[in-house]
Amino acid sequence: QVQLVESGGGLVQAGGSLRLSCAASGIRFSIYAMAWYRQAPGKQRELVALISSGSSTNYADSVKGRFTISRDNAKNTVYLQMNSLNPEDTAVYYCNARVVLSTTMNYWGQGTQVTVSS
């Protein structure tokens, strides 16, 4: 079966950094676009960062210059380096794997809590 296993979340002070990891199994990792989403209480889930199968990247305006998404196809892992964190970054962060334009090849991780204290 397909599994996306996340790690690296936790509690950090404003201005600090965290590095999230998402290890995928059960998929041909190299053909998937990988993304990080987040959802804060009372808000819609939003796309934070995406890296395509060709390693092009896109970021939400709110995180540009602070967050970096990367992938290691040899390890079937996607990362999100988060720097200069602020309390508005507090949310549950989700890893997503999908083949574009596919309704079936689309998978989610369990989510990991990131809390940034002021």
pLDDT digits (tens, 9 = 90+) for 76-111: 999 999 999 999 999 999 999 999 888 889 999 999
* pLDDT, position 111: 97
pLDDT digits (tens, 9 = 90+) for 39-53: 999 999 999 999 999
* pLDDT, position 102: 83
* pLDDT, position 66: 98
* pLDDT, position 39: 98
* pLDDT, position 1: 93
Query: What is the C-alpha to C-alpha distance for residues 97 and 29, in angstroms, rounded to an integer?
Result: 8
